[in-house]
Structure 1
Amino acid sequence: MATTLTSKGQVTIPKQIRSALGLEPGSAVEFAVNQMGEVVIHKARVGAEAKPDRFARVRGKADVEWRTDELMLLLRGED
């Protein structure tokens, strides 16, 4: 099954594939490239089915308050 890529990088997922995956308008999909270089499309998992975001549990947890000038000095070193 072939489809054409638009100038915006969009493609139409063929009806046979949408039906097989249970995709409806507004459905979220995930793309991946397997070890053989093939593109794989999955219906995205939502809610309890979704993989946990590996950064979610630490987001907003930093307790170090850096001042910009102190951080820049640390990153750049002393001149």
Structure 2
Amino acid sequence: MTDATTLTSKGQVTVPREIRQRMGLEPGDKMTFSLLSDGTLVVRPKLRRVTDLAGLLHKPGRAPVLLEDMTVDLSADDIAS
């Protein structure tokens, strides 16, 4: 797949629609750029790390739950239902 795009004076490019769709990119997503020794440019979506999500579900007035407290031992019967 080869699509041409233009570099703006601000250093911006538009990622072609088909590539955005195939990579699952949405507005606001971040990407990483790596330049290999042979001149190849590799572009990857920057995936979130679990630590980036810390505090996302926190509700004011509610005590945080420690990771150790989240561990659940599911039996085979629990998983099947």
**TM-score bracket for this pair, using the shorter chain length:** 0.5 to 0.7
2:45 maps to which residue?
A: 43
**TM-score computed with the length of structure 2 as normaliser:** 0.55
Match of residue 31 from structure 1: 33
Q: Any idea what SS the aligned residue of 1:24 has? A: coil
The alignment-based identity, stated in percent, is 44
Quote the residue 1:22 is aligned against. 24
Give the length in aligned residue pairs: 50
TM-score normalised to structure 1 length: 0.56
Task: Compute the displacement of 1:49 (Å).
Answer: 8.4
One-letter amino acid of the counterpart of residue 39, structure 1: L
Task: List runs of 5+ in structure 2 lacking aligned partners.
Answer: 53-81
3-state SS, counterpart of residue 41 of structure 1: strand
